[in-house]
Each structure stands twice: as C-alpha cells, then as structure tokens.
Structure 1
Amino acid sequence: MSVDLNHTIVHARDRHVSAAFLADILDLEVGPVFGPFVPVATGNGVTLDYADAPTESITPQHYAFLVSDREFDAAFERIKRAGITYYADPHRTEPGEINHHYGGRGLYFLDPVGHTMEIITQPYGDAPEHR
C-alpha cells in the first residue's frame, strides 16, 4: 500500500466562511458537515477539513494546489474579480504579479484568516534542478 495524504485540518474563525472561500476560488464543492469539520475535497482525494479554531490565535499555514492552465486562468479571474490581493512570491513582496517558476505559472493569496494559499501549474519537483 502506498502512503497518501488523506486529509488535513485547517483552523478558521468561521469554518463555513473559510471553506466556502477556498471552494469558490478553486471551483470545488463544500462537502456536508462532518462533526466539527466542513470539508473541501480536492481532485486527488485530499480533503481540507475546516474547523473553528479553539482559540482566537491561529497560526498561519501554507497550502499549495497544483492546477491545470485552464483551472489557473479561471481561479485567477475569480481572484481578480473578488478584489483579492495576490502575489508572485510567498513573502508577499510582489503584489499584483504572478510567477513563472519552472515553466509554469503561480501565485499566492491569503484566505480569510491569513493562511497562504498557492496555485501553481507546474509542480516544483518536476523542475530540472530538483531531479
């Protein structure tokens, strides 16, 4: 049996709002509530299970999503239409820009609680310098 990531818990101030935000940007479905979780499943079967944080303090995390060129274009359009600030870099020093790492395209944006969300069209591991 191979080892695959099945799900991860994403803390939020409002699990419904954060799950809907990501689902809207990536054109995914918000699943039915399961206990304390609001799931958003990705195409490869990994689920982000949004849960209300037990405290007001949330440690920002980074989540990267590999998308096709078509999906990138659609998500990028939704980001721009919603007026969400996006960046070419994870340190957020290049606002309003996208990157072209490894022959693909990528960008970063923040979710409602400050988690860094990244969409890329080229997996970093496929880059010649990672082989």
Structure 2
Amino acid sequence: MTITLNHTIVPARNKEAAARLFAQIFGLDFEGGSDHFAPVRVNSTLTFLFDDSASFQSCHYAFHVSDAEFDAILHRVQDAGVAYGSAPWNIDDGMLNDWNGGRGVYFKNPDGHVLELMTAPR
C-alpha cells in the first residue's frame, strides 16, 4: 500500500504572515494566498495550507531533512532570532540533539507550533 500525505491545514493567527515566515525559514516559496488558504508547497507531495483561526492548540510538525538542509534551516532560524533547543522540553537551550545517530533541533513559530528538524528518521 502506498500512502502519501498530500496536505495538512496549519492554523494561524495570520495565515499569510505564518506562511511567509515558514517559507522563509525553510527556504521555500510562498506565492501568496488562495481563496481560503495560504499554501506553501513543502515538496512534490506535501503542501501546508495555512488558515486563519482565532483559537487553536499548538501542533508538532517534524521534518526529516538532509545534513545540508538542516544546516541551512538552522542558520535561518538563528538569523531570525528564533529560540531553539535540543528537545521539546528544552526548546530554548540553544543546543542540538544526536538522537538516532543524526542531529535534531526544535523551535516554535510565532503561533506556538513546535517544528522539529532531524537528519536521521525515527
């Protein structure tokens, strides 16, 4: 069986600002909002559809990336002044983890969603 996640809706206080920041940090393109969503294509099979919402719980989004992508994204996180850390419970310790033989890091976006990067999948 082949199952591919095609899209997911990401709640935000300001969908276009959230989409723009996500695209900037991840080195992706944001081409503007559509009728209802502010879409950011993550890769050929996955799109994040940012949507305005007045109330929502924070979510966790984890990304398996190459070493080069990890370095580039982490550099943009640091340049943006976003706190980062080695674990969900240490999200601002300024350190990385080495779980599963790779590197990992966690950070929050302005809406409180936790974003995780890992170079070795779980």
Percent identical:
40
Q: 1:93 & 1:26 partners in 2: Cα distance? A: 18
The root-mean-square deviation of aligned C-alpha atoms, in Å, is 1.5
Counterpart position of 1:117: 115
Q: Which runs of 5+ in 1 are unaligned?
A: 125-131
TM-score, with length taken from structure 1: 0.86
Q: Which runs of 5+ in 2 are unaligned?
A: none
Cα–Cα, structure 1 residues 82 and 94, in superposed 2: closer, same or farther, change >3 Å? Answer: closer
Q: Deviations over 1:46-90 (max 9, x none)?
A: 11100000x2x2200000111110011111111111111001001
Q: 1:63 & 1:93 partners in 2: Cα distance? A: 14
Q: Which residue among 43, 59, 78 is the counterpart of 1:61?
A: 59
Q: 2:62 & 2:29 partners in 1: Cα distance? A: 18
Larger-Rg structure: 1
Aligned pair 1:104/2:102, yes or no? yes
Once the two structures are TM-superposed, the CA of residue 93 in structure 1 deviates from its matched residue by: 5.6
3-state SS of paired residue (1:65): strand
Q: Which amino acid aligns with 1:65?
A: F
